[in-house]
Amino acid sequence: MLTAIILITLLGSIFGLGLGWAAGKFKVASDPVVDQIDSVLPQTQCGQCNYPGCRPYAEAIASGEAEINQCPPGGEAGIKALADLLGVEPTPLNPENGKEKPKAVAVIDEQTCIGCTLCIQACPVDAIVGAAKLMHTVIEAECTGCDLCLPPCPVDCIDMVVKAPEVSEWTWPRPLAGNT
C-alpha cells in the first residue's frame, strides 16, 4: 500500500515537472489557430473583409468576431477551406464584402500617369515602383489584384486587367463528370 502511494506520488511529480518544463520550453509565441487561418487566406491584403489585411481578418475569425464568408478573393474555395479548418458549415460569400472575380493585375497607363505617388502609398505589397513626378509602373508578378490603388489615382490611369493565359500555361481541364 505504502509503496503504491509513494510510487504514484513519485510518478505524478516526475510527470508534473516534465510537463511544466515542456510548457516553458515549447511555448508557442503566436496563436497557432490565427497562423492556420492566415495560411488559408489568399494574402491579397485588399481589406474587402473590413479588416486592414489578411492577418487582422484571421485574428478576427479566431476570436469569433468575424464570419468566414467575408473574403471575396478567396471565394467559395476559400470559404470551404476555412470551414474545413474550423469545423463549421460553409456559408455563401457575404455580398456586402464584394463578389468573387477572376484574378486581375493592375496596369498603369504610363502616358497618363502624372507621378503623384498616391498609388505607391496605397499598395499593400509594395508592387508599384516610381518616384514623385516620374512615371510609375506595376511589378506584375507581385501585384495581388486588390484594387486598392484605383481610388487614390487622381487621373484614373490604372486599369485592372485579367490576363489571358498563354498556351504554355494551359492545363488539362476537368473531365466531364460521369458516375464515380
Partner 1 sequence: MKHDLVKQARSAGEHLYHFHGGLRLRHNKKISCQIPVEKTPLATRYYVPLLQQSGREAEPLVSAGQKVLKGDSLGCFDHFGGGHVHAPTSGSVSAIASHPISHPSGDDGRCVVIRPDGLDQWRELEPVENWEHADPSELRRIIRESGIVGLGGAVFPTGFKVDRASDHAIHTLILNGSECEPYISCDEMLMREQPDAIILGARILQKAVGASRVVIAIEDQMGVVNTALTSAVKTSGAENIDVIKVTTIYPEGGEKQLIKVLTGVEVPSGGRPTDLGLLCQNVATATAVTRAVLEGKPLVERIVTVTGSGVRKPRNLLAQIGTPISNLIDQCGGYAPDAARLILGGPMMGYALASDSNPVIKAANCILVLTEDDIQPPQPEMPCIRCGECARVCPAILLPQALNSSIRSELWEDATELGLADCIECGCCDFVCPSHIPLVDWFRFGKAKLRSLKVEREQAEAARERFEAREIRLERVKRERKQRIANKKAAMQSDREKQQKIAAAIERVRSRKGEDS
Angstrom CA distances, 142 to 43, 44, 124, 138, 139, stand at 12, 10, 11, 8, 6
Interface with partner 1 includes 86 (CB under 8 A)?
Answer: no
Helix (H) or strand (E) holding 128, with range, is: strand 128-129
Cβ(86)–Cβ(62) under 8 Å? no
Binding partner 1 (rule: CB under 8 A), the pick from 24, 99, 126, 133 is 126
Single out the residue of 51, 53, 108, 128 in contact with partner 1 (rule: CB under 8 A). Answer: 53
> Mind giving me the DSSP string for 80-100?
HHHHHHHT-------TTT---
Would you give the distance in Å from CA 78 to the centre of its chain?
Answer: 9
Which of residues 2, 24, 87, 170 is near partner 1 by CB under 8 A?
170
Using DSSP's 3-state secondary structure scheme, residue 108 falls into strand
Q: Which of 37, 49, 54, 158 binds partner 1 (CB under 8 A)?
A: 54
Query: Nearer Cβ to partner 1, position 81 or 114?
Result: 81
In terms of CB distance, is 42 or 72 closer to partner 1?
A: 42
Name 105's bridge partners: 161
- Contacting residue, 34, 125, 129, 150, with partner 1 by CB under 8 A: 125
A 10 A CB-CB count for 29 gives 5
Range 140-169, binding partner 1 (CB under 8 A):
142, 144, 166-169
Nearest CB to partner 1, comparing residues 55 and 98: 55
Residue 64 in contact with partner 1, rule: CB under 8 A: no
Q: Coil, strand or helix: which one is 81?
A: helix
Binding site for partner 1 (CB under 8 A): 38, 41-45, 53-55, 124-127, 142, 144, 166-175, 177-180
